[in-house]
Amino acid sequence: MYYGQGDSEMKPYKLPESVLVVIHTADRQVLLLERADHPGWWQSVTGSREPGEALDSTARREVSEETGLDVARYPPVPWGYSNVYEIFACYRHRYAPGTTHNTEHVYGLQLPAPLAVRLNPGEHLAQRWLPAAEAAAQCFSPSNAAAIRRLLE
């Protein structure tokens, strides 16, 4: 049960369960990352759960991998809800045949101030800190935008 990645690398199918981690400050500045595989698509930290992995561990792993932030010092906190959405067609090959929907569990991570992060160049091209309303408007994912707008409530 694998999908191709380039000509030589095969990866196991992703589980249709993921985390979304909105990294923000108390004054509602939000970190967005630009996807390497789709320049111009901005998002929060996201990632699929690995087999046998607890969701809190997924959130910590993804924050660490994608930003280099110290998750022992700044742990992601579950926001207590999840979204089910249709997987974008351009990503369906990463899932087992017939898988069309993903369950995304939403987390937040509050920092004392906007911090520089260390991007994983295989995943992201750039970072930016924006006010929450502007960050929500920049997100390509409707569920990501909705999670960021919750900071404004």
Residue ranges of domains in the chain: 14-152
Cβ neighbours, 10 Å, residue 39: 10
pLDDT band per the 50, 70, 90 thresholds, residue 11: confident
Q: pTM of the full predicted structure?
A: 0.93
Contact 22, 147 (CB under 8 A): yes
CATH architecture of the domain formed by 14-152:
Alpha-Beta Complex (3.90)
Q: What is the pLDDT of residue 110?
A: 98
Write the DSSP symbol of residue 119. Answer: -
Contact 107, 63 (CB under 8 A): no
